[in-house]
Amino acid sequence: MASIGLAVPAWRRRGLFLFAASAALFGLVLLDGYLVRAAPDGGQRGVFEAYYRARDSSTAAPLVAYQLNWKGENFYSGNNVALFIASGAPMRAYLDARKQRSESTVYFVTERSRVNGLRSELGAVRSFAELTPASVSHELSLVRAEL
């Protein structure tokens, strides 16, 4: 409707006002409504908040990014995360070194679709718990494993 008002010279001023008002209203709805509700879809903030709440601050259990390279894990952890984009022998060596130092709890952040792969790659562990529901992040999950 506003575009039609811009096309007719006599209506141009009203059409421009209507167009600007529509754009401002649309922007307001997107910023204050839609984006706030859509933020957990792929964001990592909620997952890292859950990690900092769940870990014991005296031992500061390590965080591992399992087959994940989104760069948010570096931002939210202050570059204090072990990255294993391709798992296998390097990750196994990392976990074995943790076991030798009697550090049995390890947290993993990974895509929700990779949780079962992580469980099978870890093998026999004392406990394996997915800590974040889909309401925190639809894409990512925080997992605590007791080695």
Q: What is the tens place of the pLDDT at every residue in 54-112?
A: 887 656 788 999 998 777 887 888 888 888 888 788 999 999 998 888 888 999 999 99
- pLDDT value at residue 59: 65
Neighbours of 139 (CB within 10 A): 17
CB 47 within 8 A of CB 138: no
pTM of the predicted model as reported, rounded to 2 decimal places: 0.74
| Residue among 137, 147, 142 at smallest CA distance from 66 | 142
51: pLDDT strictly greater than 60: yes
Spatial distance between the Cα atoms of 1 and 31, rounded to a whole number of angstroms: 23
Spatial distance between the Cα atoms of 16 and 12, rounded to a whole number of angstroms: 6
Span 21-48, average pLDDT: 84
- pLDDT value at residue 143: 95
Span 7-11, average pLDDT: 82
Neighbours of 43 (CB within 10 A): 18
**pLDDT-derived band at 1, boundaries 50, 70, 90:** low
Q: 140 or 11: whose pLDDT is higher?
A: 140
Least confident span in 4-8, 13-17, 91-95: 4-8
Q: What is the tens place of the pLDDT at every residue in 122-145?
A: 988 999 999 999 888 888 999 999
| Residue among 50, 70, 59 at smallest CA distance from 110 | 70
- pLDDT value at residue 37: 78
Q: Three-state SS for 115? A: helix
